[in-house]
Amino acid sequence: MSKRGDNLSNKNKRGSRRAATERSASGKSKKSSSKKKTTLKREGAPSPFWKWTKRFAVFGGVAALLGTVFLAFAVGFAARELPSFFQLKASQAGQTILVRARDGSEIVEIGPSFGEWLEFQDIPENMRNAMVAVEDKRFYSHYGVDPIRTTGAVVEGFTGARSRVGGTSTITQQLARNLFLSSNRTFDRKAREAILAMALEWKFSKEQILELYLNKVYFGGGAYGVDSASRKFFSHPGKTLSVAEASIIAGLVKAPSRYSPTADVQAAVDRAAVVLRLMKEQEYITSDQASVDVDAVQLKQQAGQNSVRYFTDYVLPQLDIILPETNAPLEVWTTLDVGMQRAATAAVASNSPDGAQGALVSLDRDGAILALVGGTDYVESNFNRATDAMRQPGSSWKLFVYLAALEAGYTPEDKVVDTPVTIDGWSPRNSNGRNVGETSLRTSFAFS
């Protein structure tokens, strides 16, 4: 009994150990399986990069949707507030500015010149095509803003291909700016310009927009609209413009003063050639029409203008800085002395050799301009050499140096020393390459 009981007890113990071993193995197996599942689950999980990419995509999509809704509301509201087509036709662009001298006398009156309003069908087709070709080749396909042109300009700005982002305005944007805005280059103004352009496209047809534009755009010399420009430059109505004449007028919009045929015939001809090339590339004209001789165009003879226009060209742009936006007539009082301006004009004319230009500026002690002449003939060349020419001042600065010395208490007999000097790596020299050492202010000035 005792032995049999011991055997049973041993069997039970061995059975218990086997069961425990099996349970242990089963537990390990389950744990191992659990680890594998966990490992597999971790391997299939998305990386943080894709998580953030997805979030940015969702946020970007929502932002784009909200932006589109906001833009649609803004454009719709602007379109509802726009004047009617007939009201815009009746409104005049530009303003009259009366410029006076320091004694109150009238110097010049500058104001807009309007010709006959030309209906869309009365504007020569070549004139319409020339303007579209040079200013906005996708005019008939965009909705006020040209995304291709805008994107290209932004890319060029970021890549450094151009020094600034510009040249992105469509014809509709230009019309919006001319009708409702100033020419300030600010982001806020460009945004309003874009919204107003889309509103114009929403409310008016392409034909109406082009009709408004061609009758209101500024072509220089006070001429607003195609008919006024045609009469000013070619002495005939705008309805009879030739291909060559249309190319000259279309080329003026970019820079009316620079490409004016009355100021620089060659510049106007060169610009017209660009317009004709673009018209040919866009298949508005044939190769024969593109090779037209714009030199043969008969320009209207212009009477000579007083040199005071150099002064007004310099002064009037400063009104944008000191005055708020306004289309009201202005009366501008200046510091110009009429007698001194007349003497300055005569001095430049008498001291400029044939074919050469000259310039003169006379300032009061407080810096006020008393006389300013930028060339010998404003009609021949309206380039202002007094304010825009980049030339070495030469010995003219010596007058200011000696004047400053006298005002500081020096006398003509005081001694100064002429020795070599170097300023930030720059070493000025006398024309003869020598230095005279100690000398009097009087002698130094005499030999300057």
Bridge partners (DSSP) of residue 223 are 113
Quick check: is 156 catalytic? Answer: no
Which residue out of 24, 182, 395, 448 is catalytically annotated? 395
How far is it, in rounded angstroms, from Cα 181 to Cα 197? 11
- Return all residues near 244 (Cβ < 8 A) that are at least 6 apart: 272, 276, 292, 293, 294, 296, 297
* Nearest Cα to Cα of residue 140 among 85, 206, 192: 206
Task: Say how far apart CA 423 and CA 82 lie, in whole Å.
Answer: 61
* DSSP per-residue codes, 299-354: PPPPPP--THHHHHHHHGGGHHHHS-S--S-EEEE----HHHHHHHHHHHHHHSPT
* Rounded CA separation 243/225 (Å): 17
Q: Catalytic residue at 26?
A: no
Q: Are 109 and 100 in contact (CB under 8 A)?
A: no
DSSP 443: H
Q: Which of 135, 201, 211, 245 is catalytic?
A: 135
Q: Residue 246, exposed/middle/buried by CB under 10 A (0-12, 13-18, 19+)?
A: buried
DSSP string, 379-434: TT----TTTT-----TTHHHHHHHHHHHHTT--TT-EEEE----BTTB----TTS-
- Closest to 298 measured CA to CA, from 240, 348, 235, 251: 235
The Cα–Cα gap between 175 and 210 comes to 9
Taking each helix axis as running N to C, give the angle between helix 243-252 and helix 125-135, from 0 to 180 degrees, rounded to the nearest 10.
Answer: 40
Instruction: Please work out, in degrees rounded to the nearest 5, the angle formed at the alpha carbon of residue 123 by the alpha carbons of 117 and 124.
Output: 155
Identify whether the C-beta of residue 145 lies closer than 8 Å to the C-beta of residue 197: yes
Alpha-carbon gap, residue 91 to 93, rounded angstroms: 7
| CB proximity list for 217: less than 8 A, separation 6 or greater | 174, 175, 178, 224, 225, 253
Question: Which residues form the catalytic set?
Answer: 135, 395
